[in-house]
Amino acid sequence: MIEDGQFVGLGTGRAAAAGIRALAARIKDEGLSVTAVATSLQSEALATELGIPLVAMDRPVDFAFDGADVVTPTGLVIKGAGGALVRERVVDDTAGRFVVLVDEPKVAGHPSSWGTLPVAVVPFAADFVAHQTADLAPSRRPEHSDDELIILDMRPPQGAAWHPLHARLRQIPGVVDTGLFDVSIENVLVGEPDGTCQTLAQLVGEGHIFL
């Protein structure tokens, strides 16, 4: 999908790392010419090791790819297990096209199957935000994000409506972002162990049931 001359956003995590390696292989084997921006220090280190040229995030990217913690058949995506949700938002929401890479266990009927919504908070406000969201049983990760933000993992009640929850959290002073994303299911690629893949739209169209 990536074309010569494009500015590419590199995601974070296991699936994104596989995508980074595949992109590096095309650069080496096909002479593909791209520049890229990484959403984490981890992905930056891998891209540098593999020879992918990195530049600053000074403009929208043409194409971005990333994994997900869970994705639903309606295109609701939870990201942030790796703590890179803020950089991922900047890259993915400005991309001309954003593709999510998952395997089938990551597709579920409702985000409650994952159960956790990561929230990035400025350190000064971490205790305040935790107090304001006590009903969501927030837990604080011991390490800061690459941007020195605190990550609070919220645990919404089973069956909760996550979009209103995202809106509520974004209104709390000190909250930078949550890990809730919306994507087109045409841009969710579901991989199989044999290396083949289908879009989530194809699987939904075939009547596939996700628990």
How far, in Å, CA of 101 to CA of 98, rounded? 10
CA-nearest of 162, 76, 177 to 129 is 177
Which residues does residue 38 pair with via DSSP β-bridges, in sequence order? 10
Q: In the annotation, is 148 catalytic?
A: no
**Do 105 and 141 form a contact (C-beta atoms < 8 A)?**
no
CB of 183 within 8 A of CB of 75? yes
Q: Which residues contact 32 (CB under 8 A, 6 or more apart)?
A: 2, 4, 23, 26
With a CB cutoff of 8 Å and minimum separation 6, the contacts of 161 are none
Give the Cα separation of 74 and 71 in Å (integer).
8
Q: Choosing from 49, 88, 186, 192, which is the catalytic residue?
A: 88
CA distance 93 to 210: 26
**Active site residues per annotation:** 88
